[in-house]
Chain A
């Protein structure tokens, strides 16, 4: 149905299709973002469940024994890290063969889903030459990377 026909139907009061009022560019952006977010959510959700099963059943050894962790989780995060010799920043990443850090990798993946979805918008924004939103999306990606990099520290 052409845009003119849709407009005529709208004027006549007949309900237009669900995507009415949105340009092709916006519809494409919505569909791309939703697809990437959904795929990431499904992979991440089942990933954390699988890693957690390995963790709680003891099939894969954790870096911090569960009982030690439980008896230390009343401490503030800095005290906890010091007492358990656990890893901050990205230094846990090479230790994913421990089940607690494997579970952490699942959580880190879930925390990255939106970053991947945002990155997926860039080709569409370039295609539609939407410079303003391209700038906003790049700025948002910079903020995400800044947060994920671990550069920001509080003493």
Chain B
């Protein structure tokens, strides 16, 4: 007798077809929304309400999909609000990622889940390159940014689809940098306490320099990239990786946000309703999460990302 999982695997073609239908329907809906979002279609006073409702919905979906809201907001908002330039959408995305990290960070740090000793050297590298990324992002033409964003979002959705298990945790380390900085800790799992210490510090720092560059350039929080690098490459336990990622996001996005502020790329009329919407959405998402089926939510989020990535790519190519 086949299990439900085997049945799902066996009928992958049906699932693929269903996903395609869903994607096409959503594509049509997005296109309609894009038309509706023309400046004349939405009264001036209604923009904050529209932005608030959309970001709140994205906040719910993002939490259920294990993502920050900005990574959904930037590609989706740039598709459905073609009248807003990418510079301002990316600025709003960065502030959304930053405030989300500020809201979640203190609790995780207080519980000693986030490792400041690990995060401080890593964030120094990531925040430096995020400034560079923000400067490059604001200097490049919008269509090139759209193409690159599309490619990254598509790659990310593939990564989410294929990522299954967590990495192997290293309990001891011979990494000279980790030893020199005294980076280690303990975490609780299955009622027992386990030691951890990071490995591959140099590789991790190189990867975080790329993550910082990307976060600044596209205005997306990079939690989806932080966690696998910490967990799989550096051998940090998953729960410590997730908590430390929030700390890293706050540092990386702070540096990049200032580049956007100084260039005049933050419009409070867009940013503030988006920030409030994503925070309320995230709180609602946490409540819904306990009743939702994680596998189904993951599929919805991956479909949304595929759609948003493809749309950003095509828009960048002028198709």
Contacts and interface: CB of A to CB of B under 8 A. Distances in A.
Whether chains A and B associate is yes
Given A22-B185, A80-B88, A136-B124, 7 more contacts: A35-B106, A45-B103, A70-B47, A108-B261, A110-B98, A147-B254, A148-B261
Contacts of A49: 272, 276
Nearest to A101: B268
Contacts of B109: 30, 33-34, 37
B264 A88 contact: yes
List the 10 closest pairs (A to B, CB-CB), nearest first: A21-B186, A103-B268, A38-B106, A147-B258, A34-B106, A150-B262, A34-B109, A77-B87, A41-B102, A148-B258
A133 interface: yes
A119 interface: no
B85 A80 contact: yes
A133 B105 contact: no
A126 interface: no
11 contacts: A18-B111, A44-B102, A45-B103, A67-B44, A77-B85, A107-B266, A107-B271, A133-B120, A140-B120, A152-B259, A154-B138
A137 B276 CA distance: 30
Contacts of B135: 152, 154
Nearest to A71: B39
B269 interface: yes
What secondary structure prevails in chain B residues at the interface with A? Answer: helix
Contact of B269 (A71, A100, A147): A100
A20 interface: yes
Given A56-B45, A110-B98, A143 B269 contact: no
A19 B188 CA distance: 11
A75 B264 CA distance: 12
B275 A133 contact: no
Interface string A73-95: 11111101100001111100000
Interface in B10-49: 39, 44-45, 47-48
Nearest to A33: B109
A60 interface: no
Contact of A55 (B83, B192, B259, B268): B268
A87 B124 CA distance: 29
Contacts of A16: 193
Contacts of B257: 107, 111
B268 A104 contact: yes
Interface string B141-184: 01000000000000000000000000000000000000011000
A21 B110 contact: no
A113 B193 CA distance: 33
A24 interface: no
Interface in A126-155: 132-133, 136-137, 139-140, 143-144, 146-148, 150, 152, 154-155
Nearest to B251: A114
B116 interface: yes
Contacts of B121: 136
A111 B258 contact: yes
B87 A76 contact: yes
A70 B255 contact: no
Contact of A52 (B111, B255, B268): B268
Contact of B124 (A29, A70, A143): A143
Contacts of A37: 102, 105-106, 109, 250
Given A33-B109, A41-B102, A114 B138 contact: no
